[in-house]
């Protein structure tokens, strides 16, 4: 348990640095470009390579590769790991090269798929297509970074992969501030920034791989693990593609809404991604290699302990994060983005979708934790079945909710599908008798609920009205927001202790 907490804190801390810089990046983008046509075009052009990155590299590939790599490390030794890495890098690199070429030269075709609504505005469609031809090579670069990250995570080197996104934010900030004024179309600077950031991120990883003795030397030679990765990757690819299709459907539908809808969803999603990245993704990053190692050694008691501990952390940290995001949705939007080209109307629209997303934060985090319990055992089929159901739910709810609620309906549909996904994953784990909650959950849940009631009362009582937030200057906004967040965290911790619960001691009890 100490290993999980320490590693999660490391990844979460590095991710927090990245997310804070990400907010600075988004504040600058909002200030310079607002929720304009150019901003909409960039967000779609950036989303497409990220779609494929999550689909291939950080999605299906990582989920298939990490268990196989962990097994090679545990059972066959370092030389076998090097051979596997060389064989995999050759095949992954070839696929990425072909896909990137198709993306660069077929950018208009991709834009037809991802944002057909832009066709009604030819200038926006042309701008987004031009941007995509620049941003698409980011897919190849960041996918190679994902390969490196999978290797380092398997060797418990979590800090470097978690810190890497910092460079994307720094480069985009630099290009927005200093390069955009030099260009005829200023927003194009963001597209060039994405490409440069990919190069910087990959170069950052190389010395650390070299130090591990695992700097890839792509080789045509096959390896037993290659076939295993292929076998696992196909169902994983389908499962991950279902999740990404959800995002694709949201983008396609948002492109038909009024200008600004894509940007409103982007800004609210970014805020929702902060706690998800700092805690949910960080914990999932730590959990998968650990569960894979225990599954490879058939240590099922340790497997269940790790999963139970991770779920307790989700309840203790994820629930107050969800509540805080919901109650501070509009103050967060105002404090971070309400400057320059970002209007009062943009605040209202982004705040509404953030509230819809915030309800689903706990569901998103649970999916990140529960899915590795299947991947680590090389069970790819069950998450695929669950993801298909979630896709159907998301699509149906999108069509039902987009009419009356526009972009907010899209966010609400995503929230509903996340809980369906998490609920079914948990049900299958229980059905397969892979997981049974350890003792103490009832008491823990009561303590957490009482502490969250205190937290909610504090925020509702002290937070100023939206009209006041809108007229505050930047330092008043930052001061109030920092005070509310810090006060809520301290009060939540004190409330937990008042109920007789020491979070660290409770977690340690799961060791038996």
Provide CB contacts within 8 A for 316, sequence distance 6+: 444, 448, 496, 503, 506
Q: Residue 181 carries which DSSP code?
A: G
Give yes or no for a contact between 308 and 435, defined as CB atoms under 8 angstroms apart.
yes
Q: What CA–CA distance (Å, rounded) separates 403 from 392?
A: 18
Confidence (pTM): 0.69
Highest mean pLDDT among 297-301, 309-313, 353-357: 353-357
pLDDT 10s digits, 242-287: 656 776 787 788 888 888 888 888 888 878 877 776 666 667 666 7
The pLDDT score that the predictor gives to residue 77 is: 82
Q: Is the pLDDT of residue 180 over 90?
A: yes
Provide CB contacts within 8 A for 133, sequence distance 6+: 103, 104, 105, 107
Q: Is the pLDDT of residue 508 over 60?
A: no
Q: Of all residues in the chain, what percent are helix, strand and coil, respectively (each to 5)?
A: 85, 0, 15
Helix (H/G/I), strand (E/B), else coil: 30? helix
Q: What CA–CA distance (Å, rounded) separates 447 from 501?
A: 7
Q: Is the pLDDT of residue 39 over 70?
A: yes
Q: What is the DSSP string of 114-171?
A: H-GGGGGSHHHHHHHHHHHHHHTTHHHHHHHHHHHHHHHHHTT--HHHHHTHHHHHHH
Gyration radius from the chain CA atoms: 22
Q: Residue 328 carries which DSSP code?
A: T
The pLDDT score that the predictor gives to residue 507 is: 47
Q: Is the pLDDT of residue 5 over 60?
A: no
Q: What CA–CA distance (Å, rounded) separates 415 from 421?
A: 10
Q: Is the pLDDT of residue 177 over 70?
A: yes
The predicted model gives 44-64 an average pLDDT of 78
Which of 125-129, 154-158, 179-183, 233-237 has the lowest average pLDDT? 233-237
């Amino acid at each position: 348990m100490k290993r999980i907490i320490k590693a999660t804190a490391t990844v979460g801390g590095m991710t927090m640095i990245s997310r804070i810089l990400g907010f600075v990046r988004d504040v600058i983008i909002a200030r310079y470009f607002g929720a304009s046509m150019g901003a909409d075009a960039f967000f779609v052009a950036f989303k497409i390579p990220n779609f494929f990155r999550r689909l291939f590299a950080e999605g299906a590939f990582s989920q298939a590769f990490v268990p196989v790599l962990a097994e090679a490390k545990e059972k066959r030794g370092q030389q076998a790991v090097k051979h596997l890495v060389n064989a995999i890098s050759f095949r992954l690199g070839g696929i990425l090269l072909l896909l990137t070429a198709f993306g660069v030269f077929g950018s208009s075709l991709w834009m037809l798929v991802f944002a057909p609504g832009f066709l009604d505005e030819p200038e926006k469609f042309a701008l987004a297509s031009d941007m995509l031809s620049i941003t698409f090579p980011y897919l190849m670069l960041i996918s190679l970074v994902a390969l490196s990250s999978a290797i380092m995570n398997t060797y418990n080197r979590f800090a470097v992969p978690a810190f890497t996104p910092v460079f994307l934010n720094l480069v985009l900030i630099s290009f927005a501030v200093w390069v955009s004024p030099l260009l005829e179309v200023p927003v194009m600077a963001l597209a060039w920034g994405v490409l440069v950031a990919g190069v910087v991120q990959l170069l950052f990883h190389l010395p650390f791989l070299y130090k591990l003795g695992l700097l890839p030397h792509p080789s045509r030679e096959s390896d037993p693990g290659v076939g295993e990765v292929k076998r696992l990757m196909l169902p994983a690819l389908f499962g991950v593609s279902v999740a990404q299709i959800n995002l694709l459907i949201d983008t396609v539908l948002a492109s038909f809404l009024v200008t600004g809808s894509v940007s409103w969803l982007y800004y609210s999603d970014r805020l929702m991604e902060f706690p998800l990245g700092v805690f949910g993704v960080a914990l999932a990053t730590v959990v998968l290699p650990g569960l894979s190692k225990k599954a490879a050694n058939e240590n099922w008691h340790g497997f269940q302990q790790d999963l139970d501990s991770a779920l307790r952390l989700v309840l203790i940290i994820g629930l107050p994060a969800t509540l805080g995001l919901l109650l501070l949705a509009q103050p967060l939007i105002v404090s971070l983005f309400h400057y320059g080209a970002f209007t009062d109307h943009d605040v209202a629209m982004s705040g509404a979708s953030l509230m819809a997303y915030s309800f689903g934060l706990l569901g998103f985090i649970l999916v990140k934790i529960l899915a590795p319990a299947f991947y680590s055992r090389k069970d790819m089929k069950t998450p695929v079945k669950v993801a298909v159901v979630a896709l159907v739910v998301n699509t149906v709810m999108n069509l039902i909710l987009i009419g009356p609620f526009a972009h907010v309906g899209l966010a609400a549909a995503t929230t509903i599908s996340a809980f369906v996904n998490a609920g079914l994953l948990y049900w299958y784990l229980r059905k397969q008798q892979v997981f049974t909650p350890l003792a103490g959950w009832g008491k823990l849940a009561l303590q957490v609920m009482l502490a969250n009631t205190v937290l909610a009362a504090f925020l509702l009582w002290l937070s100023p009205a939206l009209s006041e937030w809108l007229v505050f200057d930047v330092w008043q906004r930052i001061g109030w927001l920092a005070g509310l967040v810090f006060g809520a965290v301290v009060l939540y911790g004190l409330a937990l202790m008042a109920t007789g619960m020491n979070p660290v001691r409770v977690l340690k009890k799961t060791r038996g």
